[in-house]
Chains A and B, each alone.
Chain A
Amino acid sequence: MALNEKEKSCCCFTDTDILKQIAAIASKWRDRPDMLIPVLHEVQKVAGNGIPKDVAMTVSREMRVPLSRIYGVETFYAFYSTEKRGKVLIRLCKSAPCHLKGAKDVLDAFEKVLGVRAGETTPDKMFTLETCECIGACDVSPAALIDDTVYGDLKPENVSELISLLRKRA
Chain B
Amino acid sequence: MEEMRVILNKAGEISPVSTKEYIDIGGYQGLKKALEAPENIIGVIKASGLRGRGGAGFPAGLKLSFTADTTADRKYIVCNADEGEPETIKDRMIMDLVPHRLFEGMAIAGIAVGADKGFIYLRAEYPYVAKTLERALADARENGCLGKNIMGSGKDFDIEIRTGAGAYICGEETALLSSIEGKRGEPRFKPPFPGVAGLWGKPTVLNNVETLANFPAILVNGAEWFRTLGTEKCPGTKLFTLSGNIAKPGVYEFPIGVTIRSLYEEAGGGCPGGKRLIAVQTGGASGNIIPASLIDTLMDIESCAAAGATFGTGDLMFMDEDCDILDVLENLTEFFAEESCGKCTPCREGTPRMLEFIGKFKNGTAKEGDLELMLELGSLMVEGSLCGLGQASPNPIFSAVRFFPEIFALKTDSKRGSC
A interface, CB within 8 angstroms of B: 33-38, 40-41, 65, 69, 72-73, 76-80, 94-97, 99-101, 132-141, 145, 148-150
Query: 28 A-B pairs, CB-CB below 8 angstroms?
Result: A34-B180, A36-B183, A37-B179, A37-B182, A69-B183, A72-B184, A73-B182, A76-B184, A77-B124, A79-B165, A96-B86, A96-B328, A97-B244, A99-B328, A100-B245, A100-B319, A101-B245, A132-B125, A133-B86, A133-B335, A136-B123, A138-B241, A139-B250, A139-B251, A140-B249, A141-B244, A145-B125, A149-B128
Asked if B317 is an interface residue, CB under 8 A from chain A, the answer is yes
Asked if B181 is an interface residue, CB under 8 A from chain A, the answer is yes
Q: How large is the interface on B (under 10, 10 to 19, 20 to 34, 35 or more residues)?
A: 35 or more
State whether B87 touches A97 (Cβ < 8 A): yes
CA distance A94 to B168 in the complex (A): 14
- CB neighbours of B244 from chain A (8 A): 96-97, 100-101, 141
With contacts A78-B165, A97-B244, A139-B249 known, is A41 near B89, CB below 8 A?
Answer: no
- CB neighbours of A99 from chain B (8 A): 327-328, 331
CA distance A139 to B248 in the complex (A): 8
1/0 per position for B327-347, CB-CB distance to A under 8 A? 110011001001101000000
CA distance A73 to B185 in the complex (A): 8
Could you tell me the distance in whole angstroms from the C-beta of A9 to the nearest C-beta in chain B?
Answer: 30
Complex: chain B residue closest to A91, CB-CB: B125
Asked if B164 is an interface residue, CB under 8 A from chain A, the answer is yes
| Most chain B CB within a 10 A radius of its CB, from A35, A38, A99, A134 | A134
Asked if B80 is an interface residue, CB under 8 A from chain A, the answer is no
CA distance A135 to B244 in the complex (A): 15
Asked if B85 is an interface residue, CB under 8 A from chain A, the answer is yes
Asked if B88 is an interface residue, CB under 8 A from chain A, the answer is yes
CA distance A148 to B128 in the complex (A): 7
State whether B89 touches A78 (Cβ < 8 A): no
CA distance A69 to B178 in the complex (A): 13
B89, B167, B323: the one contacting A137 at CB < 8 Å is B89
CA distance A96 to B279 in the complex (A): 14
Complex: chain A residue closest to B285, CB-CB: A96
Within 162-202 of B, Cβ neighbours of A (below 8 Å) are at 162-168, 179-185
B interface, CB within 8 angstroms of A: 83-89, 92, 123-128, 162-168, 179-185, 241, 243-245, 249-251, 281, 285, 317, 319, 323, 327-328, 331-332, 335, 338-339, 341
| Most chain B CB within a 10 A radius of its CB, from A37, A136, A140 | A136
Complex: chain B residue closest to A94, CB-CB: B331
With contacts A37-B163, A40-B165, A72-B184 known, is A133 near B338, CB below 8 A?
Answer: yes
State whether A73 touches B183 (Cβ < 8 A): yes
CA distance A114 to B11 in the complex (A): 39
Complex: chain B residue closest to A76, CB-CB: B184
Could you tell me the distance in whole angstroms from the C-beta of B3 to the nearest C-beta in chain A?
Answer: 16
Could you tell me the distance in whole angstroms from the C-beta of B174 to the nearest C-beta in chain A?
Answer: 15
- CB neighbours of B84 from chain A (8 A): 133-134
Name 20 extra pairs, CB < 8 A, besides A73-B165, A134-B84, A136-B89.
A37-B163, A37-B165, A41-B163, A73-B183, A77-B167, A78-B167, A79-B166, A80-B165, A96-B87, A96-B317, A100-B328, A132-B125, A133-B168, A134-B85, A134-B125, A136-B88, A139-B249, A141-B243, A145-B125, A148-B127
State whether B162 touches A38 (Cβ < 8 A): yes
- CB neighbours of A34 from chain B (8 A): 180-182
- CB neighbours of B328 from chain A (8 A): 96, 99-100
State whether A139 touches B89 (Cβ < 8 A): yes
CA distance A150 to B128 in the complex (A): 9
State whether B317 touches A33 (Cβ < 8 A): no
- CB neighbours of B89 from chain A (8 A): 136-139
CA distance A76 to B166 in the complex (A): 9
Complex: chain B residue closest to A95, CB-CB: B86
| Most chain B CB within a 10 A radius of its CB, from A33, A78, A95, A135 | A95
CA distance A31 to B89 in the complex (A): 36
State whether B243 touches A138 (Cβ < 8 A): yes
Minimum-distance CB pairs A-B, first 8: A78-B166, A77-B165, A95-B86, A134-B86, A36-B182, A79-B166, A97-B243, A138-B243
With contacts A96-B281, A99-B331, A150-B128 known, is A136 near B185, CB below 8 A?
Answer: no
